[in-house]
Structure 1
Amino acid sequence: MIKRTLLALTACIAALPAAADWSIDSEHSSLNFLTTKNAQVTEVHSFDALSGVLSNDGELTVKVPLSSVNTNIDIRNTRMQEMLFETTTYPDATFTASIPDDLLTMSAGDSKTASVSGEISLHGVTAPATFNVVVNQLSDHTITVATTAPTVINAATFNLDGGVKALQTVAKLSSITLAVPVSFSISLVN
């Protein structure tokens, strides 16, 4: 009788949703940014790696290894790592935010649009940033979050303007804009 009761209790506990933190599923997530050179040539770039955790109390931390920058040109990747991001000194960018309660209590099938404000830490500087997103609770164990419009990040805010100038010089370009539109689509699982 005790054994059956313990088995039934174990089955009930296993059926409850896990109270675990949410983690970014890097295989189903992307982070992109645009650059414009010579005043009219715009290119899409990405980062091949990102990780992060959303705790059950709404604290979000996203980490982007800057050495994972992908511009589809190897020499440009290397130049951005060394001359722009200075990855040996500043290996990662992070975004931290407190997520509103109404986004944490969604049910499977729910979708909401929201503005998420937090802080980006990049190249030794921390500055505020806001992303307009759509959040979809696909199931009890999967959430997707995607930007509804790019957020423009200014390289000068993070003391990257010197690196941009160095890239411009080495590539013999007439200009590279400092305003960089950023967008993402991430999947969170628990």
Structure 2
Amino acid sequence: MKLLSRTAVALTSAVLFSSASQFALADWVLDGQRSTVQFMSVKNASVAELHHFRSITGGISDTGAAQVALDLDSVETLVPIRNQRMRELLFETVRFPAAMLRAEVPESLSALPIGETRDTAIEVEVDLHGAKQSYIAEVLVTRLSDGGLQVVISEPLVVKAADFGLDGGIEILREVAGLQSISTAVPVSGQLVFLPEPD
């Protein structure tokens, strides 16, 4: 199931930001404590489990270019050995340490009045395990009372392991765990909160 998780992570987002300076000119900076990306794996056709990443960074530049990096080493399944297997056998984090999500944010969204919510669709590019795929994400964007911008994926994105060359890793995980099956299509959901960068 971890396998699925990783695939999902890729979505809703693979390269870590080389340094924090990449966000130096950003209008918005991701609040990692209030943001989460979750993915669900299904094993033996009926056992579903929800996983997430503990470390997420990102920002939105003054031109509206949004980037979010998921640290694949921070995958959390609540089972230590499963975390390790996903890192080493599925994500291969030594070679591919992160999943990157990129999108263009319309100015109309970042300029929403406080308390207002807008339902819209945004194209998201996911860079994971050396491959890239684009998805149309249905999101709810809300301007928070503290000035932050909350983006919630309202309809889970379905990420296919084969699109990122992760199907082989899932099969290895299945064998190692002694499972009958692990789903190769993973629904990904999440909530991202961006804060205005201080002047």
Q: TM-score range by the shorter chain?
A: 0.7 to 0.9
TM-score (norm 1): 0.87
Amino acid aligned to 1:39 = A
Q: Whole-Å Cα distance in 1 between the matches of residues 120 and 163 of structure 2?
A: 24
CA radius of gyration, larger in: 1
Amino acid aligned to 1:42 = A
Taking only the aligned residue pairs, the percentage that are identical comes to 39
Distance of aligned partners of 1:61 and 1:20 in 2 relative to their CA distance in 1, 3 Å threshold: closer
After TM superposition, the structure 1 = structure 2 runs for residues 166-181 of structure 1, keeping only pairs within 5 Å, are 166-181=172-187
Q: Whole-Å Cα distance in 2 between the matches of residues 145 and 122 of structure 1?
A: 21
What secondary structure sits across from 1:175 in the alignment? coil
Q: Residue 131 of structure 1 aligns with which residue?
A: 137
Q: Residue 68 of structure 1 aligns with which residue?
A: 74
TM-score (norm 2): 0.83
Q: Residue 141 of structure 1 aligns with which residue?
A: 147
The answer to whether structure 1 residue 82 and structure 2 residue 88 are counterparts is yes
Amino acid aligned to 2:191 = S
2:106 counterpart (90, 100, 106): 100
Q: Residue 120 of structure 1 aligns with which residue?
A: 126
Q: Is the 8 A contact 1:107 1:139 kept in 2?
A: no
Q: Residue 59 of structure 1 aligns with which residue?
A: 65
CA apart distance, 1:101? 2.8
Q: Whole-Å Cα distance in 1 between the matches of residues 40 and 146 of structure 2?
A: 34
Q: Which structure's relative contact order is higher, taking Cα pairs within 8 Å and 6+ residues apart?
A: 2
Q: Residue 41 of structure 1 aligns with which residue?
A: 47
What secondary structure sits across from 1:26 in the alignment? coil
Q: Whole-Å Cα distance in 1 between the matches of residues 26 and 58 of structure 2?
A: 14
Q: Is the 8 A contact 1:48 1:70 kept in 2?
A: yes
What secondary structure sits across from 1:28 in the alignment? coil
Two-structure CA RMSD over aligned residues (Å): 1.3
Question: Runs in 1 of length 4+ with deviation above 3 angstroms?
Answer: none
Q: Is the 8 A contact 1:153 1:180 kept in 2?
A: yes
